Amino acid sequence: MRVDIITIFPEYFGPLDLSLIGRARAAGLLDIAVHDLRTWTHDVHRTVDDTPYGGGPGMVMRPEPWGEALDALVPAPAVAAGGSDPDLAGAGEAASAGAGNAEPAGAGGAEPAGADGAGAAPARLVVPTPAGERFTQAMANRLAGERHLVFACGRYEGIDQRVLDHAATRMPVSEVSLGDYVLFGGEVAVLVMLEAITRLLPGVLGNAESLADESHAHGLLEAPGYTKPARWRGLDVPDVLRSGDHARIARWRRDQALLRTARRRPDLLARAVAELDDRDLAVLAGAGFRIEQPDMAK
C-alpha cells in the first residue's frame, strides 16, 4: 500500500519509523511519504491559512497549496473517477468500486500502475475532521484494501471546503472523524487510522490469527487476557485458562466477551444480536441481560 500524508507538521510522523509500522515499511509492505504542505506555497511567509469568509473566529486553510499538493501527488487520472464518499462504512463502497475503473496517469504518476495496469485504483483522499463519518474497525478493513491513500491533515478551523469538492471530481474522498471531540489537528487522527489499517495488511502481524478474535472483529469486545505468573498479588488466573480444555476455554472466552460487551457497550451487543445463539442468550440472561432477538419470520 502506498500512503501520502500532507501536513504542516511533518515531525508529528516520527513514530511511523517505530515498531510494527516501521518494520512494515522496512519490509516494503507499506510505502509512506510525509509531505510538508508549505512546499506548495509561493510567498515569503509560506502562508497556508487566512481569515474565514463570513467572519468568525480562527483561520481556514487556503485552497491553493492543497490543490497543488494533490495535483502533484495524484496526477489527473486518464478516466474521470471519484465523487465524495460520505458513507465509507456502507454505501460508500459503491464510490470506491466505481472509481476502481479509473487509471491514474502513467508517466510521472504518483501511483504505479502495477502489473494489472488498467485495473489500478486511483488514490482515495482521507480527510480527518470531527464533522466526518466515525472511524471504525469496519472502515479500517475497507481502507486496508485500498492501494493508495492520501491523508490531508487539517489545522486551524479546517481546510477550505472547495479542496474536498474539487478533489471529489477525480478521486474518492472520505471525511473521517475519530470521535465526538475536537483535536488541534488531523495528524494524531492519521496516526491512529494508520495503526488500525496497517495491522490489517497481509504480512504485517507475525501471527495473523490475533486479528480473528480481537475486539470489534465480530461485533463483540474481546475477553480479558492473562499471562504468567498464575498468582500475582493474591489474584489468580481463572482456573479454566489453565485447564488445557480448549473447548471450555473457548466457551469461557465467548461468555466473557458477551458479558463485557453487554456491560460496557450495549450498543455493540444490540447490533450483534442476530449472531447470538441460544447458549449466548442464556449466558446473558443468567447475568441479568434480557436481549430481544429480531423476529426473522417478519
- Of the two residues 61 and 204, which places its CB atom closer to ligand SAM in the complex? 61
CA distance 45 to 38: 9
C-alpha cell recorded at residue 201? 495488511
Smallest gap from residue 10 Cβ to ligand SAM (A): 15
Among 11, 107, 181, 288, binds ligand SAM (CB under 6 A): 181
Rule CB under 6 A: say whether 92 interacts with ligand SAM: no
Rule CB under 6 A: say whether 186 interacts with ligand SAM: yes
CA distance 35 to 26: 19
CA distance 17 to 113: 26
Rule CB under 6 A: say whether 179 interacts with ligand SAM: yes
Strand, helix or coil for residue 77: coil
- Of the two residues 69 and 121, which places its CB atom closer to ligand SAM in the complex? 69
- Of the two residues 20 and 183, which places its CB atom closer to ligand SAM in the complex? 183
CA distance 123 to 126: 9
Strand, helix or coil for residue 83: strand
Q: Phi and psi of 11, rounded to 5°?
A: -65, -20
Rule CB under 6 A: say whether 154 interacts with ligand SAM: yes
Query: Residue 295: which H helix or E strand, with range?
Result: none
* Per-residue binding letters, 108-147, with ligand SAM (x by CB under 6 A): --------------------xxxx----------------
Rule CB under 6 A: say whether 185 interacts with ligand SAM: yes
Binding residues vs ligand SAM (CB under 6 A)? 128-131, 153-155, 157-158, 177-179, 181-186, 189
